[in-house]
Structure 1
Amino acid sequence: MEIFEILKAILFGIVEGITEWLPISSTGHMILLDEFVKLNVSEAFMEMFLVVIQLGAILAVVVTYWKKLFPFSLGRGKLLIKKDIMIMWVKIVAACIPAALVGVLWDDKIEALFYNYKTVAIMLILFGILFIVVENRNKGKKSKINTISQITFKAALMVGFFQLIAAVFPGTSRSGATILGGIFIGMSRTIAAEFTFFMAVPVMFGASLLKLVKFGLAFSGSEVIILLVGMVTAYVVSVVIIKFLMQYIKNRDFKIFGWYRIVLGVIVLLYFWLV
């Protein structure tokens, strides 16, 4: 196996780790990267790789937020259940149901219809505009939801429907859609981002498992190495990006990401129109 293929897998891992958590569309960037950087693998493996590489990013969330995500602890020799965390998980699962149903029932059809540069570019621009509009609309307003425990089942489901948009249209950004949805219904930027991170765990794990089942476990040695390199890279980069984003939004809004999306979307449309 050539070292060049390893370097390309690292590049995919870096892009995944950065774009999975910033609201700029990991799927969109991965599709676009695949247009210019081709791994020497089968089409079926590449389709699976672009999804399963997200497992590295998921692990970054689990490690970073372990205390907030793990609902069990030991006290005086007994297993204790943290009620607030269990309730949070019920809300997360409820929020993930719409996207999960659509993914299981129509995954292949969605990919065939929408996984192309035109959809990616349009959704990059559209949600870029929405980020700017929503941030301007909320400027000076106090957020209504400032802790995870204040998120109601109704609010969780509303964020879940924003996630559904991202599940159908690549370029939307799962994190972008759910953060935007959270801010729109009154969540603080910090809580919207955290809830987005937590929702990613079952969604991305489920999507990865579905792709692995469809692909099967008949990996070649080089395919295993490429997949592991991509996942490990995505994990390391994700840890850094998650910490960066949470620090960044303490005193800043998301408008810069909106402008980035608009510029990138226009560049993509111009590039493919000219070629």
Structure 2
Amino acid sequence: MDLMLLGKAIVLGIVEGLTEFLPISSTGHLILASSLLRFDHHAAQVFEITIQSGAMLAVVWHYRAQLTATALGLTTDPARRRFALNLLVAFVPAAVFGLLFGSLIKGHLFNPTTVAVTFVLGGVVILLVERSQRKRRPGASRRPDIGTVDDLTPRDALRIGLVQCAALIPGTSRSGATIIGSMLLGLPRQVATEFSFYLGIPTLFAAAAYSTWQHRDELRIEDVPLFAMGTVVAFISALACIRWLIRYVSTHDFSPLGWYRIAFGALILLSSASGWKSWPGS
């Protein structure tokens, strides 16, 4: 195993884990990090998607008690059945749109310029949403009927699922689309964040499985250590990020991340325009 290549896999695993559940786009960061690291492995694209399963497993581990209770209560507990149904309903739109337009999007939009532009636009959206939230009376909610993820209805889940489709555009952020979109729909910040975690389980698992199957001919047995290392590192860093984010949203908003998106996206565009860095696909 090439130690340099393994080191790049570790860095990309850290990037994936730390960015997957923040509204700053893990896919966008992976595209940029891969370009900077010159990660030109023959299965680079499938690697970047497959290691998302490590982040997904971090959610499974963190919420293992709740997920176990859901699995055991599907036949006896109506609340558990509704929660499982909500996840399925929210997952379906992105799955359908991904199958229909995924190849087209990857062929034309997976490049640093698109990522930089969507970074900036997404940051502006976050700032606008948070500004509207601050104008509301402290503790007030447009949906006082929703206190936990168990209070969501299938209609709520469908609307969140439709919002998640925006994340098919690289740089948008799956978690950003679902969390900020849910807040626009009136959901409390903590509920929006937690449901985004849960929704990541089927979404990331399906994306990783589909991509791996699609590119199975590119994979070799010697790629196993590389993929395993990236996935394990993504799991560890994602678990740390999840625990931090749960604490963060209880007392803070996402404005700093909105400003980060704008600054980072502007830096990419500026570096390309000035000739300091020639990004592939720019």
Question: TM-score per shorter chain, which class?
Answer: over 0.9
CA distance in 2, matches of 1:217, 1:149: 42
What is the identity, as a one-letter code, of the residue corresponding to 1:72? A
The answer to whether structure 1 residue 160 and structure 2 residue 161 are counterparts is yes
What is the identity, as a one-letter code, of the residue corresponding to 1:244? W
Q: Which residue of structure 2 lines up, in the alignment, with residue 132 of structure 1?
A: 127
Quick check: 184-193 or 32-41, which moved more? 32-41
Q: Kindly tell me: are residues 40 and 109 of structure 1, through their superposed partners in 2, closer, same or farther at Cα, counting changes over 3 Å?
A: closer
Determine helix, strand or coil for the equivalent of 1:72.
helix
CA distance in 2, matches of 1:55, 1:82: 29
What is the identity, as a one-letter code, of the residue corresponding to 1:111? K
Q: Which runs of 5+ in 1 are unaligned?
A: none
Which residues in structure 2 correspond to 1:139-218 (within 5 Å)?
139=134, 140-141=136-137, 142-143=140-141, 144=143, 145-167=146-168, 169-216=169-216
CA deviations 1:195-232 (Å, max 9, x no partner) are 00111111111111111111116643431111000000
Quick check: 213-222 or 83-92, which moved more? 213-222
Q: 2:117 aligns with which of 110, 113, 122?
A: 122
CA distance in 2, matches of 1:120, 1:218: 26
Q: Kindly tell me: are residues 215 and 3 of structure 1, through their superposed partners in 2, closer, same or farther at Cα, counting changes over 3 Å?
A: same
Normalised TM-score (structure 2): 0.91
Contact in 2 for aligned 1:72/1:82 (Cα 8 Å): no
Contact in 2 for aligned 1:5/1:40 (Cα 8 Å): no
CA distance in 1, matches of 2:71, 2:37: 43
CA distance in 1, matches of 2:179, 2:232: 25
Percent identity between the two aligned chains: 35
Q: Size of the alignment, in residue pairs?
A: 268
What is the identity, as a one-letter code, of the residue corresponding to 2:238? S
Q: 1:64 aligns with which of 62, 65, 89?
A: 62
CA RMSD after TM alignment = 1.6
CA deviations 1:2-21 (Å, max 9, x no partner) are 22211111100000000001
The answer to whether structure 1 residue 110 and structure 2 residue 105 are counterparts is yes
Q: Kindly tell me: are residues 40 and 112 of structure 1, through their superposed partners in 2, closer, same or farther at Cα, counting changes over 3 Å?
A: closer
CA distance in 1, matches of 2:76, 2:15: 37
Quick check: 185-194 or 213-222, which moved more? 213-222
CA deviations 1:87-145 (Å, max 9, x no partner) are 11211111121110111122111101211112111111111111111111011341223
Q: Which residue of structure 2 lines up, in the alignment, with residue 38 of structure 1?
A: 38
Query: How far off is 1:261 after superposition?
Result: 0.4
Query: How far off is 1:81 after superposition?
Result: 4.0
CA distance in 2, matches of 1:162, 1:223: 35
Contact in 2 for aligned 1:48/1:211 (Cα 8 Å): yes
CA distance in 2, matches of 1:181, 1:38: 34
Contact in 2 for aligned 1:72/1:81 (Cα 8 Å): no
Normalised TM-score (structure 1): 0.93
CA distance in 1, matches of 2:183, 2:75: 33
CA distance in 2, matches of 1:147, 1:157: 17
Contact in 2 for aligned 1:18/1:241 (Cα 8 Å): yes
Q: Which residue of structure 1 lines up, in the alignment, with residue 78 of structure 2?
A: 83
Contact in 2 for aligned 1:124/1:264 (Cα 8 Å): yes
CA deviations 1:5-48 (Å, max 9, x no partner) are 11111100000000001110000000001111123521xx1110
Q: Which runs of 5+ in 2 are unaligned?
A: 276-282
CA distance in 1, matches of 2:41, 2:149: 42
CA distance in 2, matches of 1:219, 1:80: 40
Determine helix, strand or coil for the equivalent of 2:17.
helix
CA distance in 1, matches of 2:227, 2:165: 27
CA distance in 2, matches of 1:209, 1:201: 12
